[in-house]
Structure 1
Amino acid sequence: MKLKRETLELGSNIQHAVIWLHGLGADGNDFVPIVPELGLPKDAGVRFIFPHAPSRPVTLNNGMSMPAWYDIISLDRTKNVEMDDLLATVDWISVLIDEQVALGIDPENIILAGFSQGGVLALHTALRYSKRLGGIVALSTYFPFADETIAEMPKGYEQIPVFTAHGTHDPVIPVTWWHDYAPKLEEQGFSVVAKSYPMEHSVHPQEIVDLGAWFKDQL
């Protein structure tokens, strides 16, 4: 599937790409306003891509249709998504990465970022893509099938830098789910920047500052 998307470029000599995936019920415009707040140079040479998830019925939403990367079956973290459903969407994002590679961007200069559902997809796509990417940003999310995915990922992928953050008062995705997956990545040798903030299921101003600093290190 060729996903519709919003695109924002910093500079004309584009050498890096950030593919940023929104959460359930939102769209690609959700995180566009954050880019200027990251404090990156105007000539950073970065293309930000914000794809729109297609609308689909969501079981947890009584079958009502809304923008969603995959169906959410229940509130049980271990049973709320089918692997086949998730992997189908991983293929869509892999196509987006392929497009950027075809435009001349090295895979190690491509970062996958995502919030909530988008974070799940960022983690799974980055650890399954055919070449090692340049970074993962996982915001207010969780990591279903983490053990299987980490065990099956190609050797060397633990070199992918990770920025992961969560709200301590998140009522949608409990912070305990974050405490479950972030240490697993660290145990595998990933360089993980893990931050928590006094917020619910949202984005904190200090989080944007910290994320901007992390982006500067990677770019």
Structure 2
Amino acid sequence: MAAVQKLKRCALLQTGKHTASVIFLHGSGDTGQGLRAWVRDVLTQDMAFEHIRVIYPTAPARPYTPMKGGLSHVWFDRYKISCDCPEQLESIDEMCSNLGAIVQDEVQAGVPKQRIVIGGFSMGGAMALHLACRYHQDLAGVFALSSFLNKDSFVYQAVEDAARHPLPELLQCHGTADELVSHSWGEETSSLLKKAGMATTFHSFPGLGHHLCRAELELLHSWILKKLPPENSSSAGH
């Protein structure tokens, strides 16, 4: 495997003591800074927390097959945007190593893995599922917005293999009017992960296309606080 590449990242610092972290991955063609700006535009403010650092990494530019080899900020390559095409595991695993280095940076900063959540939008959500389910099964949670896994994804087998061990809980959100990643594709991903043994929650947003919306991000904000409560809270983020 190629040497670990240090990814560019945009971090929204917590306002108090840093006791938990969220790693939020952008969709194909975007950047970490672009995703943070999009979230801020939708919410009219940053998605900020007193004790949680929010990290928006940027995927390195790479040749992307659906763009006929043109460079794009994508987490992995794929043959086409289709549920049925096989995953290009080499590019996925390379990025799992690079993103795993960010997880390790947070651990070295004093945040245990059980106090880290990872997720993303579209391709970022798929990338987060590979990272959490195949390599970092002791994270606090994983979320996937307008996202997907391919039909025979290696994630499904990893979840089955780990069925006797705790896995991070998954939050999925999807718009019913999504024309790029269909709502049925997102629902099928959730159903297959649940069948494989993962605890999943799926929320539909009527009329929403391949976009973020305020209600979705507010739901995500509440879910993150449930998974990563302040350390003095009596509730547990299991």
Q: Tell whether the structures are fold-level matches, with TM greater than 0.5.
A: yes
Q: Is the 8 A contact 2:24 2:118 kept in 1?
A: yes
1:94 and 2:103 aligned = no
In the TM superposition, residue 203 of structure 1 has moved relative to its aligned partner by 0.7
1:212 pairs, out of 216, 221, 229, with 221
- Aligned equivalents of 2:166 and 2:45: distance in 1? 28
The amino acid that maps onto 2:34 is: D
Summarize the alignment of residues 7-46 of structure 1 with structure 2, pairs less than 5 Å apart. 7-33=11-37, 34=39, 37=43, 44-46=50-52
What CA distance in whole angstroms lies between the structure 2 residues aligned with 1:125 and 1:9? 23
CA distance in 2, matches of 1:175, 1:137: 16
Which ranges in structure 1 are unaligned for 5 or more consecutive residues?
A: none
Q: CA RMSD in A?
A: 2.3
Q: Structure 1's 148 and 188: CA in aligned 2 closer, same or farther, altered over 3 A?
A: closer
Q: Is the 8 A contact 1:39 1:212 kept in 2?
A: no
Give the Cα separation in 1 of the matches to 2:61 and 2:122.
Answer: 16
User: What does residue 172 of structure 2 align with?
Assistant: 164
Q: Could you tell me how far apart the structure 2 residues matched to 1:153 and 1:38 are?
A: 40
Structure 1 residue identity aligned to 2:77 = D
The offset of 1:48, in angstroms, is: 0.7
Task: Name the aligned partner's letter for residue 223 of structure 2.
Answer: W
Cα drift, residue 156 of structure 1 = 2.2
Counterpart position of 2:233: none
State the match for 1:194 in structure 2. Answer: 202
Letter in 2 for 1:169: A
TM-score (norm 2): 0.83
Gaps of 5+ in 2: 229-238
Decide whether the 8 Å contact of 1:38 with 1:211 is kept in 2: no
Residues in 1 aligned to 2:95 and 2:127: alpha-carbon distance in whole angstroms: 8
Which letter does structure 2 place at the counterpart of 1:69? W
TM-score by length of 1: 0.90
Moved over 3 A (4+): 35-43, 152-155, 187-191
Match of 1:181 among 173, 186, 189: 189
Deviation at 1:181, TM superposition (A): 1.4
Q: Which amino acid letter does the alignment assign opposite residue 78 of structure 1?
A: D
The farther-off stretch of 82-91 and 99-108 is 82-91
Matching of residue 122 in structure 1 with residue 128 in structure 2: yes
Residue 7 of structure 2 is aligned to residue 3 of structure 1: yes
Number of residues paired by the alignment?
Answer: 218
